Amino acid sequence: MAKHLQNPRLAKIHRSYTVEEIAILYNIHKNTVRSWIKDGLLTCDNKRPTLILGRQLREFLIRKRKKNKSTCPPGTIYCVGCKLPQKPVDNIVLYQPITDTKGMLIGTCPCDGHRIYRFISSLKLKQINLEFIVTKKTADEGLNNSC
């Protein structure tokens, strides 16, 4: 099952929650909340029902999100298959404009051959040209003239 990031802002900081209320709030199973408690989510006391302060819940989810977050060093693109930042094969990427100010770099992962993608501002494209060999895709290239 895919892991989903829970939005810490859903938890009200001046409210206390039971395990069942947190499970309903984030649309997860009660055992997931209980595993969070084992992983360090603080509770009010050891009595039943287990109560968790909203402030503690929010801080726990923020810490959990920061722990899982990683940044790509310059010259790399994150590969979802490898779960690591990778340099594209031969440092060749394709720039596909999405809007006037934003586009996407598309490359190939050297480990497993998956496509790797990175959204980038068109203003940073000159800086990227120093790290990668960039070919630009125009809007007409995506159209097929055969009917």
Say if residue 83 is in the same domain as residue 60. Answer: no
Query: Which CATH number characterizes residue 20's domain?
Result: 1.10.10
CA separation, residue 125 to residues 72, 103, 139, 145 (Å): 16, 9, 17, 29
pTM of the model: 0.58
Q: How many separate domains does the chain show?
A: 2
Alpha-carbon Rg of the chain, whole angstroms? Answer: 22
Residue 3 in any domain: the answer is no
CA separation, residue 30 to residues 2, 79, 138 (Å): 17, 32, 50
Say if residue 131 is in the same domain as residue 97. Answer: yes
Task: Encode pLDDT of 81-135 as tens digits.
Answer: 888 888 999 988 998 988 888 988 899 999 888 889 888 887 887 777 777 888 8
Query: Which CATH number characterizes residue 125's domain?
Result: 2.40.50
Residue 29 belongs to what domain range?
8-68
Residue 90 in any domain: the answer is yes
Residues 6+ apart with CB under 8 A from 95: 103, 104, 105, 106, 120, 125, 128, 134, 135, 136, 137
Nearest to 95 by CA among 139, 43, 32, 49: 139
Query: Is residue 141 predicted with pLDDT exceeding 80?
Result: no
Say if residue 47 is in the same domain as residue 93. Answer: no
Residue 146 in any domain: the answer is no
Residue 96 in any domain: the answer is yes
Residue 144 in any domain: the answer is no
Residue 57 in any domain: the answer is yes
Task: Encode pLDDT of 3-50 as tens digits.
Answer: 667 899 999 999 999 999 999 999 999 999 999 999 999 999 888 899
